[in-house]
Copies of this chain bind each other. A is one copy, B any other.
Amino acid sequence: MPASSLLIIGSMAFDDLDLPSGEFRDVVGGSATYSAFAASHFTEPRVVAVVGEDFPEPTLGELARRGVDVSGIERARGKTFRWWGRYAKDLVSRTTLDTQLNVFADFKPKLPQSFTQSPYVLLGNIHPALQLEVLAQVKSPRLVAADTMNFWISGERALLGEVLKKIDLLIINDEELRELAGIHNLRRAARAVLGMGPKRLVVKRGEFGALYFDADESCFVPAYPLEDEVDPTGAGDSFAGALLGYLAQRGVLDRAAMRQALHTASTVASFCVEAVGTKRLAALDHATVRTRMSELRALVHPGD
């Protein structure tokens, strides 16, 4: 396993979750947290993020035990970023009830010297200005991916355009794709967004799986059909983390590797949904991932 070849930047947070199964408070979450746990199955990711004085030390210890380099996680004075969301009964639509930036408000990501040589980079859903600051510090990366941009699409369009020109792989959901392109048809929208900079595009569609597009081909991976859906928070971040973690481990970016990475990412993300927070994701072992991945592959087998 190549040590620490993937750099992850994103949020670490407390989430208050109003789920159909109950109300959960102070759940440790954030895009960097989910992505790092997911990626840790394949490589030893380096995380750049900020937490407050209230963030639990055991979570950092758990990440470190899974091989995550936590030396780039800054502990700042004040409170950790906090998000409060309420999910509909079907777990598909959700409403943000409150967001408190806290220590994230003044975050200036500064990469440790050892992090600046990271061939794989995952930019989580943070302000595009911060994404650009991080990218400026990384020396000739091999694959830069950015994940999910929701409200930056309307609010920071110019800066987002800069980011799109500097990344190789964009991972967004179908509604974001449509909004970014201003086109409803997915295939046409994908082509338009590929024209904005990224050479590769992954379109996440929640329970309906994900589509991949580049100049030469497209492919599709389903979501694993779960019997027990509990909490979809972080599933997209887990998908992105596993995708980049797998690619960093493989060290190749050809068609076969990309398809296998997508199946891996869909598999890992499915576990995330089975429990509140990162619980299931953090306790996963390789055999369990491999078994479900076989089931996912069997699901799409064309029959000959």
Query: A: which residues have CB within 8 A of B?
Result: 89-90, 184-188, 205, 208-209, 211, 217-222, 225-229, 255-260, 263, 297-304
Once A211-B225, A220-B222 are accepted as A-B contacts, the answer to whether A300 and B303 lie under 8 Å apart by CB is no
How many Å lie between the Cα of A297 and that of B220 in the bound state?
10
Q: Is B256 within 8 A of A220, CB to CB?
A: no
Other than the known A185-B228, A263-B303, A300-B302, what 4 A-B pairs have Cβ atoms closer than 8 Å?
A187-B227, A188-B227, A220-B300, A222-B300
Q: Is A226 within 8 A of B187, CB to CB?
A: yes
Once A90-B184, A303-B263 are accepted as A-B contacts, the answer to whether A222 and B225 lie under 8 Å apart by CB is no
Residues of B within 8 A of A186 (CB): 225
Residues of B within 8 A of A221 (CB): 300
15 example contacts (A-B, Cβ-Cβ < 8 A) are as follows A185-B227, A185-B229, A187-B225, A188-B227, A209-B222, A217-B298, A218-B299, A219-B299, A219-B300, A220-B299, A220-B300, A259-B302, A260-B304, A263-B302, A263-B303
The oligomer's copy count stands at: 2
Q: Is A298 within 8 A of B185, CB to CB?
A: no
Once A208-B205, A208-B208, A211-B225 are accepted as A-B contacts, the answer to whether A219 and B187 lie under 8 Å apart by CB is no
How many Å lie between the Cα of A242 and that of B218 in the bound state?
25
How many Å lie between the Cα of A59 and that of B109 in the bound state?
68
Q: Is B225 within 8 A of A218, CB to CB?
A: yes
Which single residue of chain B is at the shortest CB-CB distance from A184? B90
Of B227, B228, B258, B299, which is within 8 A of A303 by CB?
A: B258
Residues of B within 8 A of A225 (CB): 186-187, 211, 218, 220
Of B89, B185, B187, B303, which is within 8 A of A256 by CB?
A: B303
Residues of B within 8 A of A260 (CB): 302-304
Which single residue of chain B is at the shortest CB-CB distance from A258? B303
Residues of B within 8 A of A229 (CB): 185
Q: Is B220 within 8 A of A255, CB to CB?
A: no
Q: Shortest Cβ distance from A284 into chain B, in angstroms? A: 20
**In the A-B complex, the 3 residue pairs with the closest CB atoms:** A259-B303, A300-B300, A256-B303
How many Å lie between the Cα of A90 and that of B178 in the bound state?
11
Residues of B within 8 A of A300 (CB): 219-222, 300, 302
How many Å lie between the Cα of A226 and that of B226 in the bound state?
27
Residues of B within 8 A of A301 (CB): 219, 259
Which single residue of chain B is at the shortest CB-CB distance from A259? B303
